[in-house]
C-alpha cells in the first residue's frame, strides 16, 4: 500500500517589529543616564549628598511653617502670602508626584546605592520629586519677585544701617537671590543623575512639573 505524499508545510517567517518610540526613548534615557553617572564619579560625593539633603521635602516643609509662625511674618502681608504659597505648593507637589510615581512605577537605576541612608521614601523613579520640588520653589520665588521686593521695603525701617543699605538696592538683591535659587535648583536636579538616584528623563519631567506647579499656585490659588 503506497503512502500518500505529504504536503510540504509552508515556510513561516517571523517578522520582528521595530521597537516603539517609547522603548527607544527609555533605552536612550537609560544609556545616557548611566554614562553621565559614570563620568561624574570623580565629583566629591559629599557635595552631591549635601545637595540631595538640601532638596529634601522633610527639610523644606518646616521652613515656611516656622517662618509663618514667627514674629517676622506678622509684620508683612506679602511675606505671609509667599509662605502660604510655598507651603501649599509643596503639599500639592508631594501629592502629585506621589500619584504619578504610583501610576508609572518606573524602577530607580540599578546602580543607585546608599539611598536608604538619607532620603529614600519610595522605590519609584519617575518623576524626580527633588527636581519638581526645587524647581517649584525657584519658579514660585521668581513669580513672587515683586512681593519679595515689597517685603524688603517693609523691613527698611528696622533701624539697622547695614540692612537698610542693602535694602536700598532691593531690586538687585531680589534678582540675585532668585538667580542663586535657580542655580541651586539646577545643581540639585543634576545631582540626582550624578548620584544614580534618577534617570535624565525623570529629572527633566520633574523640573517641568515643578514650574507648572508654581504657575498653578501663583495664578490660581
The per-residue pLDDT for 86 is 94
The per-residue pLDDT for 119 is 46
The per-residue pLDDT for 105 is 92
Containing structural domain, residue 91: 21-220
Q: How is residue 107 annotated by DSSP?
A: B
Asked whether residue 67 is domain-assigned, the answer is: yes
The per-residue pLDDT for 110 is 86
CA 54, CA 52: separation in Å to the nearest integer? Answer: 5
Contact assessment for residue 81 and residue 206, using Cβ atoms and an 8 Å cutoff? no
Asked whether residue 10 is domain-assigned, the answer is: no
Asked whether residue 13 is domain-assigned, the answer is: no
Asked whether residue 211 is domain-assigned, the answer is: yes
Give per-10-residue mean pLDDT for the chain (221 aa). Answer: 57 64 88 92 92 87 87 83 93 94 91 58 86 96 91 68 57 88 96 93 97 95 76
The per-residue pLDDT for 185 is 97
Asked whether residue 16 is domain-assigned, the answer is: no
Asked whether residue 42 is domain-assigned, the answer is: yes
| Residues labelled as active-site residues | 130, 198
C-alpha cell of residue 96: 502629585
pTM for the complete prediction? 0.83
The per-residue pLDDT for 163 is 56
Phi and psi torsions of 107, nearest 5°:
-65, 155
CA 197, CA 122: separation in Å to the nearest integer? Answer: 11
What are the distances in angstroms from CA 186 to CA 14, 36, 75? Answer: 47, 16, 32
State the distance between the two ends of the chain, measured CA to CA, in whole angstroms.
92
Asked whether residue 121 is domain-assigned, the answer is: yes
The per-residue pLDDT for 167 is 57
- Cβ-in-10-Å burial (0-12, 13-18, 19+) of 152 comes to buried
C-beta atoms surrounding 3 within 10 Å? 5
The count of domains in the chain is 1
Asked whether residue 41 is domain-assigned, the answer is: yes
Amino acid at each position: 500500500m503506497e503512502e500518500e505524499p505529504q504536503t510540504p508545510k509552508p515556510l513561516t517567517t517571523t517578522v520582528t517589529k521595530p521597537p516603539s518610540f517609547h522603548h527607544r526613548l527609555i533605552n536612550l534615557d537609560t544609556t545616557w543616564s548611566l554614562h553621565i553617572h559614570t563620568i561624574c564619579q570623580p565629583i566629591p560625593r559629599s557635595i552631591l549628598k549635601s545637595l540631595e539633603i538640601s532638596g529634601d521635602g522633610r527639610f523644606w516643609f518646616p521652613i515656611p511653617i516656622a517662618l509663618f509662625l514667627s514674629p517676622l511674618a506678622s509684620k508683612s502681608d506679602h511675606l505671609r502670602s509667599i509662605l502660604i504659597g510655598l507651603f501649599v505648593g509643596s503639599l500639592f507637589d508631594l501629592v502629585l508626584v506621589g500619584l504619578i510615581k504610583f501610576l508609572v512605577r518606573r524602577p530607580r537605576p540599578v546602580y543607585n546605592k546608599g539611598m536608604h541612608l538619607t532620603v529614600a521614601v519610595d522605590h519609584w523613579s519617575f518623576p524626580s520629586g527633588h527636581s519638581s520640588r526645587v524647581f517649584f520653589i525657584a519658579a514660585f520665588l521668581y513669580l513672587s519677585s515683586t512681593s519679595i521686593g515689597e517685603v524688603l521695603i517693609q523691613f527698611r525701617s528696622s533701624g539697622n544701617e547695614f540692612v537698610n543699605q542693602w535694602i536700598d538696592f532691593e531690586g538687585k538683591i531680589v534678582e540675585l537671590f532668585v538667580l542663586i535659587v535657580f542655580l541651586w535648583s539646577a545643581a540639585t536636579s543634576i545631582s540626582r543623575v550624578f548620584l544614580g538616584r534618577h534617570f535624565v528623563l525623570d529629572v527633566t519631567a520633574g523640573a517641568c512639573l515643578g514650574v507648572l506647579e508654581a504657575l498653578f499656585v501663583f495664578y490660581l490659588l
